Amino acid sequence: MQGAQPSIPDSPFAPDLRAAGQWSLDEFKHALRTGERPNGREPLNPEFMPYSITMKMTDAELEALYAYLGSLIGA
């Protein structure tokens, strides 16, 4: 799924999901629980990436989300 400009004014460009597909499951879980990107770049913006919500997800929920996103991008 390629990134795109959302229809909501002043929203940041939606990233290409294929980038997250390069993360391991452990990196994905860490990012969604802490807001820290695996590559050490700037943290995820909590205004647009609700890791305050995803940080409360169980391992099973995050694993299901990872698998679902992987199915969308063909990972």
Domain boundaries, the chain: 17-56
Q: What is the pLDDT along the chain (75 residues), one digit of tens a residue?
A: 455 566 777 776 666 666 667 889 999 999 999 989 888 887 887 877 788 899 999 999 999 999 988 887 765
| Burial of 72 (C-beta count, 10 Å sphere; 0-12/13-18/19+) | exposed
Nearest to 33 by CA among 60, 12, 62: 62
Cβ–Cβ < 8 Å for 33, 55:
yes
Amino acid code (one letter) for 58: T
Cβ–Cβ < 8 Å for 5, 18:
no
